[in-house]
Amino acid sequence: MDDDLNAPQALGAVFSFVRAANRRLDDGSWGAGEAAQASTALDRVLGVLDLLPKAPGVDDQLRDWVEAKIAERAEARKTKDFARADAIRDEIEARGVELEDTPQGTRWHRRDA
């Protein structure tokens, strides 16, 4: 604690990240999967965001796997590789996870949760 943590500068960096992420979402260069991955990466450093609340029956390993697959599926859809996107969806659903595509992005939950 002897060093200055410079919390105002850190918060400024977080707000800059949010502005940049919103611009990328608005211009279509990012989908919900990319935004979720970037936010999760940011939170791994800061550990302050509660983006992915703990759900019953969902461990960190499953959450990371599903989020990565959703991002992979979003990229396949973006490149119009719909056969690959469907195969990824089937792979996710085979693990007991249900996807819901919304205008805000893909949401998911355990079928049994």
Tens digit of each residue's pLDDT (9 = 90 or more) over 67-101: 999 999 999 999 999 999 999 999 999 998 999 88
Helix (H, G, I), strand (E, B) or coil at 68: helix
Please tell me the pTM assigned to this model.
0.52
pLDDT at 24 over 90: no
Q: Given this model, what pLDDT does residue 81 score?
A: 96
C-alpha span between 17 and 10 (Å, rounded): 11
Q: Given this model, what pLDDT does residue 87 score?
A: 96
Q: What six digits make up the tokens of 101?
A: 């595509």
